[in-house]
C-alpha cells in the first residue's frame, strides 16, 4: 500500500464521460494514462443512486439494507469501522475535501467519515444545476476564469496538508464545477485537476470513481435517486493495477472499494445489489445483478423487471413481459414473435435465482413517524378511557 493515497470521486458521473470507457467528446489524457497503468472496472455499480447512501457503501463496505437505517433521515451517531478509521489505525492522516454544500446535503445523512478525519469543507466548488437550482429562463453562463479559480482553490487547500507522512485524501468533486454549466461539461477540468494531483500523489495510489450516475435521458428521465437502471447505478472505477488485471469484466460494487484500497485485491461476488431507498420508504426500487442479468423490484407498484444488460444495454425489453403494445397498430402482440432474443430459457432460470436471492435479502421496516404513532397508541387509549371515566363521574355527581 502506498504512503500517499488519493480517492477522487465525481458526483453524478457516468462512465462514458471518460475516454477509457469509450467517451469520444472529451480528451482525458490523465485519466487515460492512469487507466493504461492500472485497472479499469467495466461493470462497477454503486450500492445506491443517491449520494449519502452511496457514501455509506463506499466507506463502510455495507449495503444500505445491511445498515440500521430504515428511512432517509439525519443520522444520530457516526458510523464505526470505516475506511478512514482503518487507514488511521495503519498510521495514515486522513483528510476529507468537498464543496461546502455537502455539509448539509449529504454529511448529516451518512456520517461515515471516521473519528479522526480532518475536514476541508469550506470550499465553494459547486455550480448549482438541474434539480439543485431554481428554474430560470436563462442558461448558466460558463466562465473559464471562474473554473480555473475553482481548480486553484482545491489545489491551494491540498497544499495545507503535510505530505511528509502517510496521507489518505478523499476528494469529492461536485456534479458540476463552479464555472461550467451542466452535467458532463467539466470533464476537461476534472482531468486537468487529476493531472495536477498526479504531481502530489503517486499514480500507484490514485483511485478514480463516482458516487452514482444519472439517467441522462434514458427512458426519458434525467437526474438520479429514484431508479436503478444502468445509467443511474453503473459508475466508473479506475484503480492502480489490481490482481494483475488490466480490466475487471465481472460485476463489482462500490461497497467492495474499501477492501480494494486496504488489501489491493478484488474477488467476484455472485450478486450485486443496488437500492434506491431504505427499507421503510414507499417508493423503493431494488436491483439484483448476476452476470449479465438484472432483476428489479418496484416496491410501490410491485412490478418485476428482468433485463439482459449485454444484449439490451438500454434496458428497453423487460424479459418478464409476455406481451408488448404495438403503438402504431393499437394492439397487443406476443413479444417473442416480434422481438428476437435467443436466451429466454437461460433468462428464466437466472430470474428464478435472482428472485430467490431478492426474497432472501428483502426486509421491510417501519418509518420512525409510524413507530412514534404506534408507541403513542397505548397512551392515547388510556387517556381516552380516563377521559370517559371522568365524564361519567361528572354526570353521576351532577345527577346527585
- Residues 293 and 304: their CA atoms lie apart, in Å, by 13
In a domain, 280, yes or no: no
143 with 258, same domain? Answer: yes
Q: Does 145 reside within a domain?
A: yes
- Name 227's Cβ contacts closer than 8 Å, sequence gap at least 6: 49, 215, 219, 221, 276, 285
Mean pLDDT by 10 residues, the chain (400 residues): 96 96 94 98 98 97 92 90 97 97 91 96 91 69 94 97 96 96 95 98 98 95 95 98 97 97 96 96 96 97 97 96 94 94 97 97 65 47 64 69
Q: Do residues 264 and 152 both lie within one domain?
A: yes
**One domain for residues 119 and 218:** yes
Q: Angle, to 10 degrees, between the axis of helix 29-37 and the axis of helix 187-197?
A: 60
DSSP 315-347: ----TT--EEEETTTTEEEEHHHHS--TTHHHH
Q: Is residue 326 part of a domain?
A: yes
196 and 299 part of one domain: no
Same domain, 182 and 317: no
Instruction: Give the up-direction half-sphere exposure of residue 234: CA atoms within 13 A in the CB hemisphere.
Output: 23
What is the predicted pLDDT for the residue at 316? 95
Is 75 a domain residue?
A: yes
Query: DSSP string of 104-130?
Result: HHTGGGT--S-SSPEEEEEE--B---G
In a domain, 50, yes or no: yes
Which pLDDT score, from 0 to 100, does residue 132 have? 74
Q: Please report which residue ranges of the chain form alpha helices under DSSP H.
A: 29-37, 51-60, 83-89, 102-105, 144-158, 187-197, 230-233, 257-263, 335-338, 344-361, 368-399
Answer left, alpha or beta for residue 33, where phi above 0 means left and psi between -120 and 50 means alpha.
alpha
Whether residue 330 sits in one domain with residue 299? yes
In this structure, the answer to whether residues 251 and 354 fall within a common structural domain is: no
Q: Is residue 154 part of a domain?
A: yes
Q: Tell me, yes or no, whether 26 and 88 share the same domain.
A: yes
Q: How far, CA to CA in Å, does 179 sit from each of 126, 140, 144?
A: 9, 9, 6
At residue 174, the pLDDT reads: 96
pLDDT at residue number 382: 56
**Residue 204 grid cell:** 500507484
**DSSP letter assigned to residue 165:** S
CATH at 204: 3.40.720.10
**Same structural domain for residues 47 and 157?**
yes
What was the pLDDT predicted at 372? Answer: 43
This prediction's pTM: 0.89
**Residues 310, 262 share a domain:** no
Q: Which of 269, 303, 333 is the last residue of a domain?
A: 269
- Give pLDDT, residue 151: 97
352 plus 225 within the same structural domain: no
Q: Is residue 276 part of a domain?
A: no
- CA 284, 229, 317: angle at the middle one, nearest 5? 115
Q: Is residue 370 situated within a structural domain?
A: no
The count of structural domains within the chain is 2
Same domain, 212 and 333: no
Which structural domain range is residue 352 located in? 292-361
Amino acid at each position: 500500500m502506498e504512503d500517499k493515497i488519493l480517492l477522487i470521486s465525481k458526483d453524478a458521473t457516468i462512465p462514458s464521460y471518460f475516454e477509457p470507457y469509450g467517451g469520444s467528446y472529451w480528451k482525458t489524457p490523465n485519466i487515460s494514462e492512469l487507466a493504461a497503468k492500472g485497472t479499469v472496472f467495466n461493470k462497477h455499480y454503486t450500492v445506491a443512486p443517491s449520494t449519502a447512501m452511496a457514501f455509506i457503501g463506499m466507506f463502510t463496505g455495507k449495503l444500505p439494507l445491511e445498515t440500521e437505517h430504515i428511512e432517509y433521515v439525519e443520522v444520530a451517531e457516526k458510523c464505526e469501522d470505516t475506511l478512514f478509521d482503518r487507514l488511521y489505525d495503519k498510521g495514515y492522516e486522513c483528510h476529507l475535501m468537498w464543496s461546502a454544500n455537502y455539509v448539509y446535503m449529504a454529511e448529516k445523512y451518512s456520517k461515515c467519515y471516521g473519528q479522526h478525519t480532518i475536514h476541508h469543507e469550506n470550499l465553494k466548488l459547486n455550480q448549482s444545476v438541474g434539480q439543485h437550482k431554481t428554474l430560470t429562463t436563462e442558461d448558466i453562463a460558463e466562465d473559464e476564469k471562474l473554473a480555473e479559480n475553482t481548480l486553484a482553490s482545491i489545489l491551494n487547500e491540498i497544499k495545507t496538508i503535510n505530505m511528509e507522512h502517510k496521507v489518505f485524501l478523499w476528494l469529492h468533486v461536485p456534479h458540476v464545477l463552479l464555472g461550467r454549466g451542466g452535467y458532463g461539461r467539466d470533464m476537461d477540468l476534472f482531468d486537468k485537476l487529476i493531472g495536477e494531483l498526479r504531481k502530489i500523489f503517486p499514480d500507484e495510489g490514485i483511485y478514480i470513481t463516482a458516487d452514482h450516475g444519472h439517467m441522462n435521458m434514458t427512458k426519458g428521465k434525467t437526474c438520479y435517486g429514484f431508479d436503478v437502471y444502468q445509467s443511474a447505478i453503473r459508475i466508473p472505477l479506475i484503480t492502480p493495477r489490481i490482481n494483475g488485471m488490466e480490466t475487471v469484466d465481472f460485476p463489482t460494487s462500490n461497497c467492495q472499494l474499501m477492501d480494494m484500497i486496504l488489501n489491493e485485491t478484488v474477488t467476484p461476488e455472485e450478486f450485486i445489489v443496488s437500492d434506491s431507498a431504505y427499507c421503510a420508504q414507499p417508493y423503493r426500487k431494488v436491483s439484483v445483478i448476476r452476470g449479465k442479468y438484472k432483476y428489479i423490484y418496484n416496491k410501490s407498484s410491485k412490478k418485476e423487471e428482468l433485463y439482459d444488460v449485454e444484449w439490451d444495454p438500454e434496458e428497453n425489453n423487460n424479459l418478464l413481459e409476455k406481451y408488448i403494445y404495438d403503438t402504431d397498430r393499437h394492439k397487443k402482440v406476443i413479444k417473442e414473435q416480434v422481438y428476437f432474443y435467443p436466451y429466454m430459457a437461460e433468462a428464466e432460470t437466472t430470474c428464478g435465482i435472482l428472485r430467490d436471492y431478492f426474497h432472501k435479502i428483502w426486509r421491510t421496516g417501519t418509518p420512525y413517524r409510524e413507530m412514534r404513532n404506534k408507541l403513542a397508541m397505548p397512551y392515547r387509549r388510556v387517556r381516552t378511557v380516563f377521559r370517559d371515566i371522568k365524564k361519567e363521574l361528572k354526570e353521576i355527581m351532577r345527577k346527585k
